[in-house]
Chain A
Amino acid sequence: MTVPRIPTSNQTIGPYWHLLEDKSWADLTRFGAAGETIVLTGILYDGDGPMAEGCIEIWQSDPPADDRFPGFGRSGTDKEGRYRFTTLKPGAEPGRGNAQQAPHIDVMIHARGLLHPVVTRAYFAGEALNETDPLLASIDDPHRRATLIARPEGAGVWRLDLRLQGDGETVFLDV
């Protein structure tokens, strides 16, 4: 019998993370993954405007991770606040019970000034399953829902801006 213990507290990632200088982590196809390659990009904003020095991480459980596809990516934001990932387009995923989830990618934001990571999702505009996805369906306000849906911006390029605070604030998830 083990004693349940309290998880360690988070603390801010701060401004000085060397790994953000390593651009290779933003390319989830760098180990030779094959499939429908997409770019997921956008601008990170705080209450003052575009935000440099942010750290965006993504995780997708589809396609399944393997030696050639890590499923995980990390991108710093540049002077204009822009992040950019190259990855494989996810497919539908099982939800809880008999539900189906629309294709999506989990998105996590770390930054100086964020005392713990915040999580949101990127869905893809035009997917039929978006209409019945349990999370999207649980958000009544269409403007709020839209903050989770990436829009096409040229062939294979999807755009999702992330707003930490204020007008058009991204829907963050308590998971």
Chain B
Amino acid sequence: MSDPLPFAPFAPATQPDLDSPAYVGTRKRHPLRAPVKMPQTVTETTGPRFSTAHFPPVADLSRVGGKEALGERIIVAGTVTDGDGRPVPHTMIEIWQANACGRYHHPGDQHDAPLDPNFHGNGRVFTDAEGRYRFMTIKPGAYPWPNHRNAWRPNHIHYSLFGPAFATRLITQMYFPGDPLLALDPIYNSVPDKAARERLISSFEIGLTEPDYALGYRFDIVLRGRAATPMEN
């Protein structure tokens, strides 16, 4: 049996530092020892497959039981490709977010902002054969958090992706263009490379809007590609 083709290492400074002192939560949670380098084996180059039979899509977060959530309706769409620009088809994307007031429908969130019974903020979509995805939701609100005095998270939507292998797992957050809180956010700023950071910001796209109904934002995602192809400098 030939060795599986590994996935490429990340380009320097394009992933956040686990030890990011400005984000207080990292202080007791980042490993102190360097990780052990290990060549990828079949365990890392394979990964779970999620069928829509077991994991039905939830592509409209803007209503619960037919009742409309409060807030500004938005459409979020984009592509999932790998590091070589190839679409990643039929891959599951999990999404979760706060409501329009900046409160999660979650027992742990005690922020003093209204809950919306018609917004749970929990979705799941799959890319199509060309790697495209799309969902409808409500623009999430900013919310305070206890990192430092007067700390506020910028508006964001959480994403979880699997891709073709356990090595391509990605957990990220999508931000919104022009948000003044981005410059102050230790989580966003934990990615050292400015261009990489800015790729976490979606773009407003008039072509994605639904006239008289919802604004549209584009957020394209790139997963690790195979290492055998040339790396970008």
Q: Does B222 contact A (CB under 8 A)?
A: yes
Q: Does A171 contact B (CB under 8 A)?
A: yes
Chain A residues bordering chain B, tally (CB within 8 A): 66
Q: In angstroms, how far is the closest chain A Cβ from the Cβ of B191?
A: 4
Q: Does B63 contact A (CB under 8 A)?
A: no
Contacts of B199 in A (CB 8 A): 6, 8-9
Q: Does B10 contact A (CB under 8 A)?
A: yes
CB nearest neighbor in A for B13? A9
CB-CB under 8 A for A67 and B10, given A11-B187, A93-B42, A96-B41: no
**Is there an interface contact between B160 and A8, defined as CB atoms closer than 8 Å?**
no
Total A-B contacts with CB atoms under 8 angstroms apart: 218
Q: Tell me which residues from 37 to 81 in chain B have a Cβ below 8 Å from any Cβ of chain A.
A: 37-44, 46-51, 54, 81
Chain B residues bordering chain A, tally (CB within 8 A): 81
Contacts of A67 in B (CB 8 A): 51
CB-CB under 8 A for A174 and B36, given A5-B222, A48-B28, A61-B43: yes
Q: Does B148 contact A (CB under 8 A)?
A: no
**Is there an interface contact between B39 and A116, defined as CB atoms closer than 8 Å?**
no
Contacts of B125 in A (CB 8 A): none
Would you list 6 pairs from A and B whose C-beta atoms are within 8 A, ordered by A residue?
A: A4-B231, A11-B200, A96-B3, A114-B18, A169-B31, A175-B40
Chain A residues at the B interface, C-beta cutoff of 8 Å = 2-19, 31, 46-48, 51, 53, 57, 59-61, 65, 67, 70-72, 93-97, 101, 104, 106, 108, 110-119, 121, 135, 138-139, 164-166, 169-175
The 9 closest A-B pairs by CB, nearest first: A113-B25, A2-B85, A47-B28, A72-B48, A115-B16, A113-B29, A174-B35, A11-B173, A16-B104
